[in-house]
Amino acid sequence: MTVAKDKISIEGLTGDAAIAHALKQCDLDVLAAYPITPQTIIVEDFQKFAADGEVQTAVIPVESEHSAMSACVGASATGARVATASASAGLALMWEILYCAASMRMPIVFTVANRALSAPINIHNDHSDGMGMRDSGFVQLYCQSSQEAYDTTIMAFKIAEDHDILLPVMVGIDGFILSHNVERVEMLPTDVVTDFLGIREPVQPLHPDKPITMGPLALTDYYFEFKEQQDRAIQEVPKIYKKVEKEFEKLTGRSYGMIEEYKTDDAEIIILAMSTMGGTAKAVADVLREKGEKVGVIRLKMFRPFPVEEICKAIGDAKAVMIFEKAMSFGAVTHPLAMEIRSALYEAENRPMVLDFVVGLGGRDVPPTTFVEGYEKTKKYLEKGEAPLYETLGVRK
């Protein structure tokens, strides 16, 4: 049953604060983190909750992000519920341990305020950090709003800790654009979150009375089997994600899907984007629809595992898919998101034209007019019957 309205508290929260409030309600055992802009508010707020005795969490102020993720792996191995937060260079410094967390099957929730990578130093948003950890084995969920960041952080634990999954989950929000944007957030009563999540039931925890070894050496004999199992586990995520979201929807009336489809049914041209750009794209589609243009939007929430079937179904027989993405894979055929879409569509009966627009690197604003510019180009490319593999928009050339 949906939680009664008078039990819901409504507050104005930034994306970071929304995540911190969610973490506060998730009965964390350990949070190990190192502050980095624009994730800082998450850790600051949580430290305050800990200092004020509002949570019973052991907060470990580590000396680096490499140590933050290491501490999380260690704590998670004992069966604890664990979270951390980072961005950009901090995330890059964790890189080695990201792979350990996933391969050792530690259900850590990793909240990220997505930010550009150096050099030059830039504190603003793009998705280079998230794409950099693409192959680490983390589940990746990208959120549009503060509400979604709150909801997703809570759901992430239930997905990660499910015994069919046991994988770490990244919850991404756009640095500054959402992390520092005050929005309306409906928060559940803590006891409802507690009941929803339950207590983590570790399969095989570290315990002094029952010593075991985790993540040791596996050479040509068994390494490959670890990877085989890891691959099987991440393929289970859609099933569990849907189950968890259904349960969450019963409580809140809110669900997001692995992808959000917006006016795609009869769309001839579909805009595909993640995070806050997915929101702007919907506003753009509304305006273009009023002018008679058949435009739809797919907002991709789950990047890993990649929801191939859902994407192909949503694209249907559209003539073109225009991808707006905030990362570059230098020297690749196209950039990360478009590569996925192209691969996904390879087996499709009606393969649409795929346009890859790289935008917004280093926090360059992506206003609705940039989408319209891409749309006009796409129409021209459709007429011509050919298009470049990718192009950049909103940059001095």
Identify residues 174-213 at the interface with another protein (CB under 8 A).
174, 176-178, 180-184
Three-state secondary-structure class, residue 177: coil
Q: How many CB atoms lie within 10 A of CB 42?
A: 34
Shortest Cβ distance from residue 128 to another protein (Å)?
Answer: 17
Q: Specify the residue, 182 or 218, whose C-beta has the smaller distance to another protein.
A: 182
Does residue 352 interact with another protein by CB under 8 A? no
Q: Which among 300, 226, 302, 237 is positioned nearest to 264, based on CA atoms?
A: 300
Strand partners, 262: 297
Stretch touching another protein by CB under 8 A, among 60-68, 97-105, 248-256, 275-283:
275-283
Q: Specify the residue, 79 or 368, whose C-beta has the smaller distance to another protein.
A: 368
Site string for another protein, 78-117 (x = CB under 8 A): ----------------------------------------
The CA angle 327-146-118, to the nearest 5 degrees, is 30
Contact present, 303 and 130 (Cβ < 8 Å): yes
Q: Specify the residue, 196 or 262, whose C-beta has the smaller distance to another protein.
A: 262
Question: Can you tell me which of 107, 130, 137, 279 binds another protein, judged by CB under 8 A?
Answer: 279
Q: Specify the residue, 235 or 369, whose C-beta has the smaller distance to another protein.
A: 369
CA dist., res. 14 & res. 276, Å (int): 13
Does residue 253 interact with another protein by CB under 8 A? no
- 3 DSSP assignment: P
Determine which helix (DSSP H) or strand (DSSP E) holds 25, and give its type and residue range.
Answer: helix 15-25
Which residue is it, tokens 């990220």?
112
Does residue 277 interact with another protein by CB under 8 A? yes
Q: Specify the residue, 106 or 337, whose C-beta has the smaller distance to another protein.
A: 337
Question: Can you tell me which of 22, 116, 123, 169 binds another protein, judged by CB under 8 A?
Answer: 123
Peptide bond into 305 cis (omega under 30): yes
User: Residue 114 half-sphere exposure, CB side, CA atoms within 13 Å?
Assistant: 33
Contact present, 115 and 123 (Cβ < 8 Å): yes
Q: Specify the residue, 103 or 370, whose C-beta has the smaller distance to another protein.
A: 370
Does residue 121 interact with another protein by CB under 8 A? no
Site string for another protein, 12-31 (x = CB under 8 A): x-------------------
Shortest Cβ distance from residue 178 to another protein (Å)?
Answer: 7
User: Residue 127 half-sphere exposure, CB side, CA atoms within 13 Å?
Assistant: 28
Which residue is it, tokens 């949070």?
31
User: CB within 8 A of 56, min separation 6: which ones?
Assistant: 27
- Contacts to another protein by CB under 8 A: 10-12, 38, 123-124, 144-145, 174, 176-178, 180-184, 276-277, 279-280, 282-284, 286-287, 363, 365-369, 372
